[in-house]
Amino acid sequence: MENCLFCKIARGEIPSRKVYEDDQLIAFHDINPLRPMHILVIPRRHIVSLQTVEPGDEPVLGRMLAVTRRLAEENGSPEGFRVIINSGRIGGQEVPHLHAHVVGGPEPVGPMFKRN
Ligand code: 5GP
Ligand code: ZN
């Protein structure tokens, strides 16, 4: 995907503060962190969202989750963390390249949602 922001980050065409990479994934600090630790994990290959995953994507989806523990341990959130995957319009996804937010830090991240 020529003009996709996260594809450009994955190719190294846009700089990022990378914390992990392997043959299928890269992980880097969110540019606008919402918690002391706020890392994005993305597949190198362009997948738009959880709305578009196919059976062949299962290994990379599994790896995205499997690496979260290591990311948290190495980036200041050893006692737990939260994973968020915003998907599509209803999920509030802004960048149309699948990404998991891994958030945490020394303090609890708080409730998932505020109750009205
Ligand atoms: P979404 O709302 O799509 O789930 O999350 C997109 C995330 O990407 C946001 O948290 C935003 O701060 C982050 N982001 C947007 N542009 C960039 C960028 O150029 N570099 C980095 N590192 N993060 C970005
Ligand atoms: Zn992309």
Kindly give the distance from the C-alpha atom of residue 10 to the centroid of ligand 1, in angstroms, as a whole number. 13
pTM of the full structure? 0.97
In a domain, 37, yes or no: yes
Does 97 participate in catalysis according to the annotation?
no
Give how many domains the chain has, as a whole number. Answer: 1
Give the domain extent around 31: 5-104
Q: What is the CATH number of the domain that holds 24?
A: 3.30.428.10
Residue-wise DSSP of the chain: -TT-HHHHHHHTSS---EEEE-SSEEEEE-SS-SSSEEEEEEESS----TTS--GGGHHHHHHHHHTHHHHHHHTT-TT--EEE---HHHHT--SSS--EEEEE-SS----SS---
In a domain, 113, yes or no: no
Q: Which residues, judged by CB distance below 6 Å to any ligand atom, belong to the binding site of ligand 1?
A: 5, 16, 28-32, 86, 92-95
In a domain, 60, yes or no: yes
- The residue whose C-alpha atom lies closest to atom 18 belonging to ligand 1 is 31
In a domain, 43, yes or no: yes
- The residue whose C-alpha atom lies closest to atom 20 belonging to ligand 1 is 31
Which pLDDT tens digits describe the chain residue by residue (116 residues)? 899 999 999 999 999 999 999 999 999 999 999 999 999 999 999 999 999 999 999 999 999 999 999 999 999 999 999 999 999 999 999 999 999 999 999 999 999 998 88
